[in-house]
Homo-oligomer: A and B are copies of this chain.
Amino acid sequence: MRNDQADDVDNRLFLKSVARALHVLEAFGRHPHPLSLREIAEAAGIDKSAAQRVAQTLLTLGYLERAGNDAGLLPGKALLDRSFDYLRTNPLIERAAPVLSQLRATARERVDLSLFDGTTIIYAMRLQSKRETFYATLAGRRIPTFSSSGGRACLARLDEAEARDIVERCDRQAQTQKTITDVDAVMDKVREARADGYACALEESLIGEIVLSAAVTDLAGRPLGAIHIAGSLAEWDEDDFRRRFAPHAIAAAKAL
């Protein structure tokens, strides 16, 4: 999971106790249900005593809560405060908010802002369209870089070698039958995105869904994230969708 262990070990400034506590919180990412002390200890690779101390601490600070039927522990509301801080302090989000909601108003389809983070991208803002249920529409969700249009839009802003390296390091599992998992085939798509100025993915994450993305970069041209427009193939065919929305996505991304 972590290949910078080497750095950690020789880094005299690294606080193991802090890392332990965060590993406890991260355990709920892998086990999304109430956990007992013993389960926490196992998931975080610590003994029961350590888990007890960490849990008590996080509990009093609001980063953990007791599950309803005293059936264990769950993440706490304080985590929402911290992610709010993240969004509020991120200058990209600040600038993107009005642009996104205007884009949403003109496109009348689902609009997202995702952030580039190596082998995955993470949704930061989501403006849903009509139906749309469930976790798919929650901020904080991560999806693989290689198979998402937003991810490929970002890769297109990197040089060939760096992009290829990331694609190779991705966990390239097929999400649907249409997911492109071959490295060379993905790189073809990346080059296509580089040429077009936007990326497009057809049913690679979800059957029936077409997503089109334009990358947002910093002043140096490095990708920070991407703006997505997502539609349903029941209402659009690919060419129409591209023609209609690609200019909007590119313009919105350029505005940032």
- Chain A residues with CB under 8 Å of chain B are 4, 7-8, 11, 13-15, 17-19, 21-22, 25-26, 28-29, 32-34, 52-54, 56-58, 60-61, 63, 68, 74-91, 97-98, 101, 105, 115, 117, 122, 124-125, 127-128, 130-135, 138-142, 218
Q: Would you mind naming 20 contact pairs between A and B with Cβ atoms under 8 Å apart? A: A13-B57, A14-B53, A15-B21, A15-B53, A22-B63, A25-B85, A29-B85, A32-B89, A74-B89, A74-B90, A77-B86, A77-B115, A79-B85, A79-B86, A81-B142, A82-B82, A82-B83, A84-B138, A98-B133, A125-B138
Query: Looking across the interface, which residue of chain B has its beta carbon closest to that of A87?
Result: B138
Query: Looking across the interface, which residue of chain B has its beta carbon closest to that of A142?
Result: B81
Which of A17, A80, A218 lies at the interface centre, i.e. has the most chain B CB atoms within 10 A of its CB?
A: A80
Q: How far is the CA of A13 from the CA of B97 in the complex (A)?
A: 42
Assess the A140–B87 pair: CB atoms within 8 A.
yes
Assess the B29–A80 pair: CB atoms within 8 A.
no
Q: How far is the CA of A8 from the CA of B59 in the complex (A)?
A: 11
Assess the B89–A19 pair: CB atoms within 8 A.
no
Knowing A133-B97, A134-B97, the reply to whether A15 touches B83 (Cβ < 8 A) is no
